[in-house]
A and B are shown apart, each in its own frame.
Chain A
């Protein structure tokens, strides 16, 4: 029996390691993650409308059918991103996710003051490189730091009843995102 104690122990340690490595690597290995799915809707650094979920399919699993959504898949390697969020008649939120789906920031129409909002999204390095005077001119725009150079911005607005959906979607279609010149 003693002969098998060591192999059993080695097996246990290997198993725990394999489990931890697979969990930690999952975000990088998953091919069909949210970023990949949303990237198929349009070009990066531009706003695309997300199709409303139906029983036949949805862009992402478990989307809330009571919302209309638009997305900006971003890549900050060419510079900071300017995001224009229109005012919506009902609840509206803007959520920020990294390349691997980590939610790092969100703002809603109440925190934004219920009017059209302009946001600047940049990496910590790009923010550090901002000249002082530009920091002042940009002060009226909210600056958000993205922990990764790629990611997604999800702009969603509540549709309280079916008849309002087209109105809400039209308003969301006014959202813009693009690299600042």
Chain B
């Protein structure tokens, strides 16, 4: 009977630890996430006030967060409807971007690596993208070439888009921005 009780305590303990850790790692880079549409940023993770979960996440991945005074990274792993970004679809990123001195949009595979392609094109920057007349942009991430701003997805089933705004005004990361301040993310022509 006693053995059973000890066993139960350890079982519940192990299960609790696993569930909590899973939940924490699924949250991404700690608390204080700013979510605008499909985009999520962790402004505090790039400061000396980063919480223990953010520190643990970065230590484990080996990534260095963008210092908030340098820039802020918005990550999209799903579209506006909450469907995971699938590199076999046409993913359309469209709209105006928050004010910043410059921005870059980069596409990664599910493990955070760049996606191999013959054009060696891994992203767009504000300096090279073709802007719409209304000062917005439209970028299509798709397996096959598209006219306009096209990023090859290599047909990967899971992709992540990261929009980095450099030397941006402080309010960009404060969560004050409404939905229209970030581009929409939609998926079409999925297999």
Taking beta carbons and an 8 Å cutoff, which residues of A are in contact with B? 3-4, 6-8, 10-16, 18-19, 22-24, 26-27, 29-30, 32-34, 36-37, 53-58, 60-62, 64-67, 91, 93, 95-97, 100-108, 110-111, 147, 152, 154, 156, 158, 160-162
Contact = CB atoms under 8 A, between A and B. Distances in A.
Interface in B39-76: 45-48, 50, 52-53, 55-56, 58-71
Interface in B131-156: none
Interface of B: 1, 5-6, 8-17, 19-21, 24, 45-48, 50, 52-53, 55-56, 58-71, 101-102, 104, 106, 108, 111-117, 120, 122-123, 125, 127-128, 162, 164, 166-167
A30 B14 CA distance: 21
A58 B113 CA distance: 8
Contacts of A66: 104, 106, 123, 125
29 contacts: A6-B5, A7-B5, A8-B8, A11-B11, A14-B17, A15-B20, A16-B16, A18-B14, A18-B16, A19-B16, A23-B56, A24-B56, A26-B56, A27-B55, A54-B114, A55-B115, A56-B116, A60-B64, A61-B111, A61-B112, A62-B162, A64-B162, A65-B114, A96-B67, A102-B55, A103-B46, A103-B68, A106-B70, A111-B69
B123 A30 contact: no
Query: Chain B contact residues: over half helix, strand or loop, or mixed?
Result: mixed
Contacts of A56: 116
B143 to A, nearest CB: 15
Given A7-B5, A11-B13, 12 more contacts: A10-B9, A15-B13, A15-B15, A19-B24, A23-B53, A26-B59, A61-B63, A61-B112, A62-B108, A95-B64, A154-B64, A156-B70
